[in-house]
Structures are given as structure tokens and as C-alpha cells.
Structure 1
Amino acid sequence: MNLPNKLTILRALMVPVYVFFMLFPAENELLFRWIACAVFCIASFTDFLDGYIARKRNLVTNFGKFMDPLADKLLVCAAMICMIPLSYLPAWYVIILISREFIISGFRLIAVEQNVVIAASYFGKFKTVSQMVMIILLILQIPALNLVTTGFVYLSLALTIISLIDYLYKNRSVLEEGGF
């Protein structure tokens, strides 16, 4: 197993660690939040790092193509789901963001059946980065950054919807050929 794939597996394994520190009731809640933030930041960095190493060293594998986006979705979705019981995000918001991930994943499955590879778009990449920044800001709950945090909440929602429309529009032939 190559280094990018190990980093991807590490990211997936960090998800329950993040959830534990984010939701476990502790005497020192602030310490646990900082640990959760550190775990999330490290896991998010592995997302960038595994892709960079895989492309630079020509280590792209079928396992990585499958597992990397799955680990990303696990991390971001788990992080956002943790925000609901803490009242940092409303459930409807998280449902919209997670629904987009399911729609795109299903869309990619249809494309694979047609031997079409759907590359990540810039909107999709910006969406991911905005969600990761939003999650970090929500974890930290810094009062002086409330306006910035709110801005990233709305930006992430907008980019989620825009990237969904962009993927579907640019790859509408996949749907047409799939009998939709």
C-alpha cells in the first residue's frame, strides 16, 4: 500500500477520534474542542497531501480513486452532523450539504457505468475548502469571528448548490445516456 492510500486510511480513521472529542462531555470542554479542531485540521491536511503525493509521484490507484472521496465525505459529513446537537448548524442545512454529496456520488456511479470519469470541478474544490474553514470556525466558536463564521456558513451553502448545478449541467450527457 502506497503513502497516499495510507494517508487516506488515516483520514478515515481520524473521523471517530474527531467525533469523540467533539461530542464527549468533558470537564474541560475547551480542551476537547481544541483537540477536535487539531484532529480535523490534520485530517483535512491529509486530503490535500495524499492527492498531491499521488499526482506528483504517479501513485494514483483505483483504491485511492474510490477511498479518497469516501474518506473526505466521511470527515466533512461527520463534522457537520456533530454541529447539529451543539446547535452550531441547523439540521436542514446539514441535510442539504449531505444530500449534495449523495447526489454527486450517485451521479458518479452512473458515469462509471458509461466509462465516463467526472473530474472534480473548481466549484467542488472551493466548496470543500469553504466547508473545512467553516467547520474549523464553528469548532473554535471565537466570538470576534462570528461574522466571518456566518459568512462561511452561507458561502458553503451557496457553493454546495452551485457546485451541484455545475456538475449536473456539465455532465448532463451522462444523465441523458443513462435514460433519465
Structure 2
Amino acid sequence: MDRPWGVPSPIRPGFAQAETAVPLMNIANILTMLRIALVPLFVVALFVGDGHETGWRICAAALFGLAAITDRFDGQLARKYGLVTDFGKLADPIADKALIGSAVIGLSVLGDLAWWITLVICGREIGVTLLRLAVVRRGVIPAGRGGKLKTLVQSLAIAVLLLPLSGGFAAAGMVSMYVAVALTVLTGLDYVGQAARVWFAGGPGRARGA
């Protein structure tokens, strides 16, 4: 079966060192960089006209959904095919935070999301990024199930709020957002505890994301 582009080939005797090196430009990192590149396109689509034109809101939701999907596959490919790199460990969560942050800020600017929700979400993401950079020399904190669930619920809530919906669908989007805020706070506190353990113990993590 063909391997994704950038996946190291099987090790052969006498070539172990050359064959096991993980190339920086592998499929997982390319998906991460694609997610980063989609962020400005998403922001432009969100603010076309008055920010509430039906066609452009659908376009913005589609771009957001496409970027969010890459988040699921880059980490999976990195772990499955041994493509984990230091660049990926740092760029992957930064890409996530750029996408989520731009979405909630944009929705608040347009009056579709309360600013206190945006401040909680962005404050947590900035804090986590600073903690990650502070402990990166001692270890990378592995992504827990809570963090993955938080990102999933945030993405679903944002996608619903981006769409030009009303009534029960819009209400469901806000309920999902409140759940996302609760998960944001809880996982942020858990991350602080993990960062403290990594700092004092120096235990390395191996997973992408947060």
C-alpha cells in the first residue's frame, strides 16, 4: 500500500540513520500549514459586505470546516506513520488557536457572540501557548481527551454560529458554545497542572496538539 508523501520508507540494514530521519515537509506538517493558510481566507470571507451576507457566511463556514478537518487528520497521520516533528508539535496547536481565535473574535466583532466568551476562549489559548513555550525545553505536554473534546465542541459550535441560521438551530449553537466555554476553562486548569509537572519533572510528551 502506498504511503502518504513524506512518510519514511522501511528501514534497511546499513541505512538506519538516513531512513529514519523524519522530513520536515511531510504530509502531516503540510496539512498544518494549510490550516494556517486558510485562516486569512476565512477571515476575509467572514467580513465581506456587512458580515451577514448569506452566501459569504456559508463560504466562511465551509472554509472554517475545511481547516478544522485538517486538524483531525494531521495528528492522526503524524502518529500513525511516525511523522512527529518538533515543528509539528509547536505549529499544530498554534494553527488551532489561530483558527479558533480568529473565528470567535470575528463573531464578536459582528455582534454574533458575546465578548466575554471570546475573552475566556482567547485568554485560555494564549495562556496555554505561553505555558507550552515555557516548558518546551523540558518536554511537550501530550494532548488529553479533554483537550480534543474541547476543540471538537468549540469547532462545532462556531460552525453553527457561522451559518445563517435562526430559531432552534441558532439556540443549539449557543448551547454548544456554553459547553465549549466550560470545557475551555476545565482543560485550561488541567493544562496548568500538567505544565507544572513537566517543569519540575522534565517528563517529555510525545503527542501533537493541546
User: Normalization by structure 1: what TM-score?
Assistant: 0.90
Distance 2:121 2:51 in 1: 32
Task: Give yes or no for the alignment of 1:138 onto 2:161.
Answer: yes
Q: Is the 8 A contact 1:26 1:32 kept in 2?
A: no
Deviates more, 1:37-46 or 1:81-90: 81-90
State which structure, 1 or 2, has the greater radius of gyration over its C-alpha atoms: 2
Match of 2:71 among 29, 47, 58: 47
Higher helix share: 1
2:37 — aligned with what?
Answer: 13
Match of 1:127 among 150, 165, 171: 150
Identity of aligned residues (%): 36
Task: Give yes or no for the alignment of 1:108 onto 2:137.
Answer: no
Q: Is the 8 A contact 2:28 2:75 kept in 1?
A: yes
Distance 1:132 1:28 in 2: 19
4+ aligned runs moved over 4 Å, structure 1: 174-178
Q: Which runs of 5 or more structure 1 residues have no equivalent in the other structure? A: none
1:99 — aligned with what?
Answer: 123
Matched to 2:30, the amino acid is K
Distance 2:51 2:113 in 1: 23
Distance 1:117 1:27 in 2: 39
Distance 1:167 1:5 in 2: 24
User: Matched residue pairs, number?
Assistant: 177
Deviates more, 1:22-31 or 1:102-111: 22-31
Distance 2:198 2:79 in 1: 26
Residues 97-128 of structure 1, C-alpha deviations (whole Å, 9 max, x = no match): 11101111121222223x12211121111111
Matched to 1:79, the amino acid is A
**SS class of match (1:167):** helix
Distance 2:140 2:190 in 1: 15
Task: Give yes or no for the alignment of 1:153 onto 2:177.
Answer: yes
Tell me the CA shift for residue 28 of structure 1: 8.6
Task: Give yes or no for the alignment of 1:83 onto 2:107.
Answer: yes
| 1:22-37 to 2 correspondences below 5 Å | 22-25=46-49, 29-37=53-61
